[in-house]
């Protein structure tokens, strides 16, 4: 069974979940060919980090390597690939889906895997019995369980009883810049072990997605990349050039009118800094649930002007406490322009509960005011 759902976005393209497809066959790794200068480097024996060097030898604890651009990608792939898995969802009627994931925590008792909620979303639909398993990089298949999920952020955490597995290094998505090289890992179309590369083509791209089993939407302040990602890459890691996970692949764009498509060079990933808080809450909270920030307003979806018009303000909520009135139009959140209500929601959801943000509003009398708001907290859609 192949799933690729339409999403909402703010341009004349269709965005789709990059769900998987069950596909018989072997493993494929995308070939990448580059030309360029050869450089000398030293690789840290423990972390794998690369350090440029003009010397003829490396210090203790580092190994000498001679690299071109393509060789650098090869080195990074060797570092990351052991922590990347395939997520398998199979139904009693024989249908199924595949997605991707990353091992984010492992000890002697077991391991945690992060993926997208929409990869396992079918398991919540009545009428079928489903099994869930993880395929490790070496081909080992292990039964898995769902620890918790957050529809609002399109994230899910799984657990397997196999421990002491390689864990993916976590990066800092706030340090990304447009043009930075990135690498996408996963199982597009069920082809385990696939790797593609590209660059960060945009940041803070507002993308909303619709769950198939619930009315709730997920909101992503996304990393946009031209690294080819396809159905089945869902939940797989997007890494920087050093192999640190900076995002979780979640959606792709397709040409208008097409509900299913391969990569056209427009892919979207959940920034790891945004995802990490939710992942940690799911793992550590008593009920394996998570939270989301709350501004305490309802926006007027019929408003056609520029900005997000406030229709209602919740008494005692964050906006009310800051003095933001009904009828105000939000035009910026912490300096980021908000041309519509969906962009405003996505931006608010990118913060942690309790964060302090500045809200710039055009008031009903036409004046402009800036408010300092401490965001509230609410249970997320789990």
Catalytic residue IDs: 118, 154, 234
User: Hey, is 103 helix, strand or coil?
Assistant: strand
Q: Which two tokens stand for residue 297?
A: 């307003």
Q: Are the beta carbons of 332 and 308 closer than 8 angstroms?
A: no
CA distance 91 to 1: 10
Helix residue spans in the chain (DSSP H) = 69-80, 117-120, 272-284, 318-322, 341-349
Q: Are the beta carbons of 199 and 226 closer than 8 angstroms?
A: yes
CA distance 291 to 377: 7
- Please tell me the chain's helix, strand, coil percentages from 3-state DSSP, rounded to the nearest 5: 15, 40, 45
CA distance 152 to 282: 13
């Amino acid at each position: 069974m192949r799933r690729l759902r339409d999403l909402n976005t703010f341009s004349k393209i269709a965005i789709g979940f990059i769900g998987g497809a069950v596909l018989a066959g072997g493993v494929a790794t995308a070939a990448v060919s580059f030309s360029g200068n050869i450089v000398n480097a030293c690789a840290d024996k423990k972390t794998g980090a690369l350090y440029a060097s003009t010397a003829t030898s490396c210090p203790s604890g580092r190994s000498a390597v001679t690299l071109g651009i393509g060789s650098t990608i090869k080195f990074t792939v060797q570092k990351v690939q052991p922590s990347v898995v395939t997520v398998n969802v199979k139904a009693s009627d024989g249908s199924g889906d595949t997605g991707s994931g990353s091992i984010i925590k492992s000890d002697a008792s077991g391991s945690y895997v992060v993926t997208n909620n929409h990869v396992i979303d079918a398991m919540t639909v009545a009428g079928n019995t489903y099994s869930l398993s993880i395929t490790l990089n070496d081909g080992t298949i292990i039964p898995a369980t769902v620890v918790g999920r957050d529809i609002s952020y399109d994230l899910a955490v799984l657990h397997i009883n196999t421990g002491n597995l390689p864990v993916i290094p976590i990066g800092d998505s706030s340090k990304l810049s447009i043009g930075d090289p990135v690498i996408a890992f996963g199982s597009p179309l069920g082809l385990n072990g696939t790797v593609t590369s590209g660059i960060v083509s945009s940041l803070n791209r507002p993308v909303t997605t619709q769950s198939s089993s619930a009315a709730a939407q997920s909101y992503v302040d996304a990393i946009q990349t031209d690294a080819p990602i396809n159905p089945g890459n869902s939940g797989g890691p997007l890494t920087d050039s050093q192999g640190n996970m900076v995002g979780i692949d979640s959606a792709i764009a397709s040409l208008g009118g097409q509900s299913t498509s391969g990569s056209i060079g427009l892919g979207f990933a959940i920034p790891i800094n945004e995802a990490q808080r939710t992942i940690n809450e799911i793992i550590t909270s008593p009920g394996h649930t998570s939270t989301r920030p709350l501004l305490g307003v309802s926006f007027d979806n019929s408003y056609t002007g520029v900005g997000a018009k406030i229709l209602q303000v919740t008494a005692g909520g964050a906006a009310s406490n800051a003095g933001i009135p009904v009828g105000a139009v939000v035009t910026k959140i912490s300096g980021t322009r908000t041309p519509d209500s969906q962009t405003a929601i996505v931006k608010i959801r990118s913060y942690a509960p309790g964060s302090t943000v500045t809200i710039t509003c055009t008031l009903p009398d036409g004046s402009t005011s800036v408010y300092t708001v401490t965001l509230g907290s609410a249970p997320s859609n789990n």
